[in-house]
Structure formats: structure tokens, C-alpha cells
Structure 1
Amino acid sequence: MITPQVDLEGLVQLRRDLLASGLTDPQIDRLVRAKVLKRIRYGAYVAYETWESLSIDDRHRLLARAVRARAHSSTALTHVSSLVERGISLWGFPLDVVHTTRTDSGQRAGRKRRDWVPHRGILGAEDCEELNGVLVSTAARSAFEVTTLGGVERGLIAVNRLLHAKAMTMDEFTEQAAAHRDWPGSLTTNLVTHLADSRLESVGEDRFSYLAFRQGLVKPEPQFDVRDEQGVLVARVDFAWPDLGVFLEFDGKIKYERHRREGESLDEFLMREKRREVLVCQITGWTCIRITWADFARPELVATRIRKVMAARNSGVA
């Protein structure tokens, strides 16, 4: 899901601009202490109320603008920062660090800072575009970039979110991977390419798909349609093992927000979801497994429980 972006144009105020307006450094410091201004990073500020109103993602976007305001004009947002600028849901990446790459090849990347990683590499004209008023790496290039930062699960989630949002195609991603096969970290890219699936609809589903792979579970079928005796679609479950008579639903905040009807309370939604689960069980005769975000902290236990349900189904006990 791509999040609508807040317009951040003109919000960053540099120290030199504040000084030009008549303020002194001691006055700027007092405004920061009084929570009138928020220091985003050294030499860059924003109205404190504005900062407090922003989401974590939009704070990263504002930090990125503060970085670019003092960086070389050829600096583009890349890696994680490019994806955040696109409104792509991520997991596991710290958002207090901005990632950039310069488009003028042959120049030194610059020194890594606490809040800024200027990457080396060649970013050609075909690999970048302007988005929301800033220069960013393309979706497919960004997808490849984040897979090199370490961790299959984090990279897989980013790639799946881009694929599901139709921000790129699988062919575009594999072309980037092939073009940069000698980059450090590209072995992770190869595994992500193998596991990527555009059908998954949320970060929670991405994480369960990866859990199933890591724990050696039978590969489930995502977004499985359940139809009644007349062939009418009555539900689409998150994952299913049709041959084993088991389906799985991930309970997360995004599902509640996406599927709750206008004016429907959380209790009403949960009751409707329970009736839906019962109906699916009655139509199919299958067993339902539900997991939550907290279950990802104990993947081995989750996998063990799923295997027990499958074994019981296979033996005819359930």
C-alpha cells in the first residue's frame, strides 16, 4: 500500500536563512529550547509544531530534505530514503539515517555521518527521476539497493511492497539485479528474487511468507479464494494449504483499517470477521490458524504449532 505523501516543500529552514532574517545563534538556541523550532540536524530547523504533527516516515523525508539542502546538487535519495519518499511500507530499516548517491560518476561519495550515508556507485540518468520535488533512484533501482543493505527479510518486504503497488515489475527488478550482480550484498538479492511475490498484500503477510520459508513449512497459497456450493466467492483468506485442509489469517492493524466498514466499530468488525471464519470452515471443512504480529518474535514455536495442526488434519483427528 502506498501512503499519500505530505507536501514538505519549504518547511526546512537553514541556519543561514534564519541568520539572514535577523536572528542570532543564541536566539535560535532559545527558540529550540522553547520548542518553537526543532533542530532536524546540524544547521537545519523546522517549526516544532510541524515536526510533532509528522509521521515517522515524513520525519525521515524532512531529514532527507535537510541533508540535500547542504549536499552537492547531484545528490539523489536512494536505498531506503527513495522508498520512503515513494510512500512504500518498510520494516526493519532505521529511519534516522538518510541514504543518498551522487549522479556525477567518478566523484567521491563523501564521509558517512550519524544521520547520513552517502553511497558510492554510479547512478545514471536512467536510474533516477524526480518525485515530490526531489531527485530519487527509480523504484527498481531502489529495490535492488535495499537488498544489499543486509537481511533477506527486510529486502523481501521492500520488494514485495513495490511489486504489489505496481511501482515496478519483476522484470525491471531482475534486470537491476543482473546489471549489478558483482555488488557487495547481491547474494541476498538472488534469494529475494526467488521469494518475491506480488500477491502478498501487507508487511505482515510478507513476514509470514518468509517465516514459512525459513522454517521449512510447505509453501502456502496466498490470497486463496473460497467459494460456496454455488461457486459464489464468499471470502479470500490470507494463506491456504488446500491439500492439507488448513488456512491461515494474519491479524494486524492494516487489516482492521483496510476492511472495516464506514462507521463500524472494532468490536463489530471482529464479530464480522469471526462469522466469516466460521463460514469458511463450514464450507471447506478446513481448520483456521490465526497469528498476530507478536508471533513473529517466536517463529520456531509458530511453525511447530502449524505442523501439529497439519499433522492432525493428515491423520484425520481434526
Structure 2
Amino acid sequence: MSTDDVYAREEHFRRLVGKLPPMDPVDLRRIDGTTAVGRRQLLSARDRILATASKARGNPVVGGVAASILHGNPWFDPAFRVELLRVPSGCGKRLEGRASRRFELAIADVMELDDILVTTPVRTAFDVGRLVPEWRGLGQLDALHRATSFSIPLLNRYILEHKGWRHIRQLRAIAPLIDGRAESPQESCLRLLMIRSDLPTPDLQIPVRDETGRVFARADLGYEELLICIEYDGAEFHSSEARRDRDARRDDKLRNLGWRVIRVDAEKLWDKPWLVLREIEDALRERGAY
């Protein structure tokens, strides 16, 4: 590296540091732009939300993805924003890592959880189900329903009472597809892809029995009547050699029992969805279904 390059990097660093806010006391750090916590303190997503909401001004209500996490949803983007809903006169200062919005919330939309105010499961479903694109909204709805078993009829009534809200048509379209048996947003996305492509609606979490009647596997999606098993391979669960070997032995056993096994990974789902659909359609036709 030349001397000029070193000087250029030092100048860039000086300018960057000059834009940073003054340092907090040595034992503190800030999350979401303002909330001070111990510098050695390691926070879970839930801890982060509770810390941010409890120290915010104006008694806000936690909503959106942050509310779904507090209700038990384990599936979320690690870089999620803590969404704080406030009455129109409340403090709406927007800070890094969190978003403040002003809404008129009905009393029935709010509950107390861990000493802070949070939108109810149904109101939370109404909000996360309008996240775009629609596969993201459905993934959030499935995960929230898995965690809370919120009332889908109540959600449908809420949708009817809030016509004209942003992305309400999307929510109205995907609400009938909510299924808390989905075990990941990617499974929800795959199911939505199949339905939008006019394939038959798949079964979820299909129990597979061996010759003795013992359940030895559960298919993520598929068609139980046709013995078609569709598995989504998430990198976090299928990247180890031991897990791949176990999956291979499981697939061999499924095939010996007459099952057609289709595996879908992130690359196929996002980059080559037409290949996924073709493989599923071919399997259906091989089994005499259309």
C-alpha cells in the first residue's frame, strides 16, 4: 500500500469519526440510536424491544414485527426496526433503528405485555400481513399464528372494518392462506408460489409412517394422497455433513415406501422458481393428478 493510500484512509477515518456523536460513559452503549444499555450487556431481540420501548417518551405502543416478536414469533429479519405507535399528539421523533408512527389505536387494539404496551395479536396480524411483498406478509402471518393462534375470523372482521388502508388488498388476498403449521417464512413463500401458479394447495407437515406404522418423518409440504413429499432445505439446518447424511438416509427410506421426494433450497426458490414448479408439476402428472 502506498503512502498516499495510507493518508487517504486516515483522512476518511477522521471524517467518519467526526460525524459520530460524543461517546457515552465507558460502561454504556446505545441501541436504536438513543437507548443506553450496559456496554457488556448482550441483548436478545426481545430484550432490545423492551429496552427501547420502556425508555421511549410518550408511552408508545409496540407494533409491527417487533410486536410479533414479543408475541413469540421466532422468524424475523435480524435488522428489524422497533416500530412504536403513538397517539397523534405523542412524540414522533424518528431515530436510528426504530420508527415512530402516529395512529389512532382503539383500546381493544392494545394490551400490556412485560410492562409495556403492545398491539394485540389480531392487530399485529393486521399490520404484519400488509408488509410487502406478499410472501413476506404471509410468512409473518403464518409465524404469528403459530405463536399465538390468533382468531382468523376476528382478523377478517378487522379487515372489513378498515377498508382503504395501505396494502389492505394484499392482506385480504392472503388471509385465507394463513396456516400456523408452516415452520419457516420460506415454507410459506414456497406454498404461496405453488398456489399463485395454480398448483393444487399442498398439505403441510405430513406425517410419514414406516412399515410398522411408526411416524419417522414429517414432510414440510406435499400431497399425502399421492405420496409426494416437498422439503425446503434451509441453510441453517441442512449445511452440516451429518445433517445431509441423515437427510439422504431419510430420503432413501421415503423412496422405498413409494414417496416422490422433491427438495427445494434458497437458490432454487429465489433464483429459479420455474424449475421448482416444473418439478412439482411433473411429479403430479406422474401420479395421475393435474
Q: Is the 8 Å Cα contact of residues 251 and 292 (structure 1) preserved in structure 2? A: yes
Q: Which residue of 2 aligns with 1:238?
A: 220
Query: Taking structure 1 as reference, are residues 165 and 311 closer, same or farther at Cα in structure 2, changes over 3 Å only?
Result: same
Q: Is 1:295 paired with 2:278? A: no
Instruction: Please give the secondary structure, in 2, of the residue aligned with 1:165.
Output: helix
CA distance in 2, matches of 1:59, 1:153: 27
- Give 1:207's aligned amino acid: C
Query: Taking structure 1 as reference, are residues 43 and 164 closer, same or farther at Cα in structure 2, changes over 3 Å only?
Result: closer
Name stretches of at least 5 consecutive residues in structure 1 with no aligned partner.
Answer: 1-27, 258-265
Describe the superposition over 1:62-86 as per-residue Cα deviations: whole angstroms up to 9, x where unpaired.
Answer: 5xx335524212x110112211223
Query: Taking structure 1 as reference, are residues 230 and 40 closer, same or farther at Cα in structure 2, changes over 3 Å only?
Result: closer
Query: Taking structure 1 as reference, are residues 236 and 120 closer, same or farther at Cα in structure 2, changes over 3 Å only?
Result: same
Q: Which residue of 2 aligns with 1:98?
A: 82
CA distance in 1, matches of 2:173, 2:77: 18
Q: Which residue of 1 aligns with 2:11?
A: none
- Give 2:112's aligned amino acid: E
- Give 1:71's aligned amino acid: R
Query: Taking structure 1 as reference, are residues 221 and 66 closer, same or farther at Cα in structure 2, changes over 3 Å only?
Result: closer
Q: Is the 8 Å Cα contact of residues 89 and 203 (structure 1) preserved in structure 2? A: no
Query: What is the aligned counterpart of 1:182 among 146, 164, 174?
Result: 164
Q: Is the 8 Å Cα contact of residues 91 and 157 (structure 1) preserved in structure 2? A: no
Matches within 5 A, 1:7-156: 29-31=22-24, 36-50=27-41, 53-55=42-44, 57-58=45-46, 60-61=48-49, 65-66=51-52, 68-73=54-59, 75-91=60-76, 94-95=79-80, 97-102=81-86, 107=89, 110=92, 112-156=94-138
Q: Is 1:286 paired with 2:259? A: yes
C-alpha displacement at 1:242, in angstroms? 4.0
> Structure 2 length as normaliser, TM-score?
0.77
Q: Is the 8 Å Cα contact of residues 60 and 81 (structure 1) preserved in structure 2? A: no
- Give 2:55's aligned amino acid: A
Q: How many residues align?
A: 268
Describe the superposition over 1:165-189 as per-residue Cα deviations: whole angstroms up to 9, x where unpaired.
Answer: 2341322322322332332221111
Query: Taking structure 1 as reference, are residues 136 and 233 closer, same or farther at Cα in structure 2, changes over 3 Å only?
Result: same
Query: Taking structure 1 as reference, are residues 239 and 67 closer, same or farther at Cα in structure 2, changes over 3 Å only?
Result: closer
- Give 1:292's aligned amino acid: D
Query: Taking structure 1 as reference, are residues 307 and 167 closer, same or farther at Cα in structure 2, changes over 3 Å only?
Result: closer
CA distance in 1, matches of 2:89, 2:85: 10
CA distance in 2, matches of 1:197, 1:81: 21
CA distance in 1, matches of 2:167, 2:93: 21
Describe the superposition over 1:257-299 as per-residue Cα deviations: whole angstroms up to 9, x where unpaired.
Answer: 9xxxxxxxx544443333222222212x222111223333222
Query: What is the aligned counterpart of 2:279 among 299, 305, 312?
Result: 305
> Structure 1 length as normaliser, TM-score?
0.71
CA distance in 2, matches of 1:39, 1:111: 16
Query: Taking structure 1 as reference, are residues 42 and 238 closer, same or farther at Cα in structure 2, changes over 3 Å only?
Result: closer
Identity of aligned residues (%): 25
Query: Taking structure 1 as reference, are residues 245 and 87 closer, same or farther at Cα in structure 2, changes over 3 Å only?
Result: closer
C-alpha displacement at 1:135, in angstroms? 0.9
CA distance in 2, matches of 1:42, 1:235: 46
- Give 2:173's aligned amino acid: L
CA distance in 2, matches of 1:37, 1:151: 38
Q: Is the 8 Å Cα contact of residues 90 and 154 (structure 1) preserved in structure 2? A: no
Describe the superposition over 1:40-97 as per-residue Cα deviations: whole angstroms up to 9, x where unpaired.
Answer: 24543222221xx334x247515xx335524212x110112211223313346951x3
CA distance in 2, matches of 1:280, 1:239: 14
Describe the superposition over 1:164-220 as per-residue Cα deviations: whole angstroms up to 9, x where unpaired.
Answer: 223413223223223323322211111121221122222232222122223333322
C-alpha displacement at 1:143, in angstroms? 0.8
